[in-house]
Structure 1
Amino acid sequence: MKDYPIEIDDYLSGNMSASEKESFEARLLTDTELSEELKLQQDMQTIYEDQEWVEGNKELLKTTEATQLKTFYQSDEAAALKSTINEVISENRSNSQSKTFWFIGIAASIAVLITVSLFVFKDTNYDELYASYIHLDEIPSLVTRGEDTNKILENAQLLFEEQKYKEATELFTTYHQKEKSIDPLSYIYNGISYVELNKFDKALSQFQLLGDSNTLQAKKANWYKALVYLKQKDKKELIAVLQTIVSDSNAYKYQEAKELLTEID
């Protein structure tokens, strides 16, 4: 077996003389296996050493996923992982004939990658789950055929359907301020509009008004609150409201709440 691990480690740690380094770099031009092993070790070090957490396309740094990855990488949990990895590797380096530290480095890097991957995967799933559980076609229309419909509500619903959520919330707010008798469905439309605008506190206030409306629609309030927390990625509050729903088998969206609880655990 070739001593690639030891050579590469010496090269990356700066333990080669000038002539050894020159010879090593010359071999990289012709030895594909050596070149690939070096690239692998460099990638590993990017994970568990104090190097830049990501390189390359700087536009990637602007994405939500990149921000969350960087936050994780800089967290106390990640720091503890890197410290443990480096300690174990350092201990095994004392035996120059042993390649144990090389394999430990691989295993440790994989462990960090799995941790980070799970972190990102979970976050991605929240978006997918929200998309799969928000069924806008289930919301009854505010426009009733054969009956006079409040023009503000009618126009607000049209704006909602056109995904003009900011304009829709403005009309719903006007309606709520002007009318004494409020159609509880307007709280649902307005609340979802706020969710789509990422104004989660305002969305929750609308669904609280729905729950306090003393109407048949009031029973839907907890489910819509759950959707807010799902969109917000607030697992603690999401679990709490889902547990409230599943405590009553007659609750609105009881079965869906059970499924969602299982999916986020």
Structure 2
Amino acid sequence: MSNFLEEIDKYLDNIMTREERRAFEERVDNDSTLAEELKLQKDMRTVYDDNDWIEGDKTALKNDEAKQLRNFFASDEAKSLKASITEVMDNNRLNSGNKRFYFLGIAASIIVLMTISIFVFSESDYNDLYADNIALEEIPSMITRGEEENELINNAQTLFENKKYREASDVFSKYHNSDVDTIDPLSYIYKGVAHLELNEFDKALGQFGLLEQTHTLQSKKADWYRAMVYLKQEEKEKLRQILLQITSDSTNYNFERAKALLEDI
């Protein structure tokens, strides 16, 4: 085992000659124990790397789950865990044979469990927080009975309440492009939330931007609905910043709810 580790270190440090590398790689192809140890050493070097902890698969790092994982690895909690693992590993580097392999296995297992917990539990937590805070039933009604000119609004809200968000968004667009003298600011909330429910985050933010520009009582809700976008996106830092903005003034819309959410994330 000790010879394995010395050879693996040389291989990973790229200090073997071309002939030595070729011979070593042939041994890896034919020796499952050596191949397993090489993979484990590569994984653990990724853990130790202070510059880029998980820069393994570049394509995998582009999706939303990987973003969440990178954000976690940048957190104080992850750094503390990493330091603890590194300390254990450093204390056992001088030991040889199966004991060192044993500790490597423990450390690698911790990383695997940590990754699984992030993907499973953290994602579930964010989904639950979004469901608890979006409060669709609290959006004031736009429906006005008996006024023919409000037919588009009535149809759009009915579609929204039936969770037909794509159709509702289309009808709200017709309303916004109609000849009404003044756009009801609530329509920007409804259309923005429809986009949010469809995971069309940029379009949702666009509607909440228009809401803010109305400078009405409803416009004060724009920051809260932006927070809902970041919550559903699991953009923790952006979410935290806008919640801090909301909680900076007790007169802001959903001040108390923002305080509670800030504590939960």
| Secondary structure in structure 1 of the residue aligned to 2:262 | helix
Is 1:112 aligned to residue 132 of structure 2?
A: no
Corresponding letter in the other structure for 2:227:
A
The aligned counterpart of 1:150 is 150
Q: 1:171 to 1:210 in 2, by over 3 A?
A: same
> For the Cα contact (< 8 Å) 2:44–2:108, is it kept in 1?
no
Query: Any residues of structure 2 matched to 1:160-175 within 5 Å, and which?
Result: 160-175=160-175
Residues 165 and 197 in structure 1, CA contact (< 8 A), matched pair in contact too: yes
Alignment check: 8 A CA contact 1:210 1:218 kept: yes
Letter paired with 1:241? I
AA at the equivalent of 2:229: V
- What is the correspondence of 1:76-155 to structure 2 with a 5 Å cutoff? 91=93, 94=96, 96=97, 99-120=98-119, 121-145=121-145, 150-155=150-155
Provide the residue aligned with 1:13 in structure 2.
33
In percent, how many aligned pairs have the same letter? 41
**5+ residue gaps in structure 2?**
1-30, 46-62
Q: What's the TM-score once normalised by structure 1's chain length?
A: 0.65
Using the TM superposition, give the Cα deviation of residue 144 of structure 1 relative to its aligned residue in structure 2, in angstroms: 2.6
Deviations 1:7-55 (A, max 9, x none): xxxx96269xxxxxxxxxxxxxxxxxxxxxxxxx99x96x9479xxxxx
Look up the equivalent residue of 2:122 and give its one-letter code.
K
Q: Which residue of 1 aligns with 2:19?
A: none
Q: Note the C-alpha offset of 1:107.
A: 3.1
State the Cα deviation string for residues 62-116 of structure 1 (Å, max 9, x = none).
Answer: xxxx98369959xx999xx7xx79x86994563x4xx532541343134313431
- Matches of 2:94 and 2:243 in 1, distance apart? 49
Q: Secondary structure at the match of 1:250?
A: coil
Give 1:239 shift: 1.2
Equivalent residue number for residue 201 of structure 2:
200
CA RMSD of aligned residues (A): 3.9
Q: Which amino acid is 1:240 matched to?
A: Q
Change (3 A) 1:48 1:89: farther
- Among 52, 64, 68, the residue aligned to 2:65: 68
Q: How far apart are the structure 1 equivalents of 2:183 and 2:200?
A: 22
Counterpart for residue 227 of structure 1: 228
Instruction: For 1:12-51, list aligned pairs within 5 A.
Output: 13=33, 48=43
- Does structure 2 retain, via aligned residues, the 8 Å contact 1:194–1:200? yes
The code of the aligned residue for 1:119 comes to I
Assess if the C-alpha contact under 8 Å between 1:89 and 1:104 holds in 2: no
Unaligned regions of 5+ residues in structure 1, if any?
A: 1-10, 16-40, 51-65
Task: Give the number of aligned pairs.
Answer: 206
Decide whether the 8 Å contact of 1:245 with 1:252 is kept in 2.
Answer: yes
207 and 117 in structure 1: CA distance in 2 versus 1, 3 angstrom threshold: same
Distance 1:163 1:198 in 2: 14
Aligned position for 1:27: none
**Amino acid in structure 2 at the alignment position of 1:158:** T
Letter in 1 for 2:177: Q
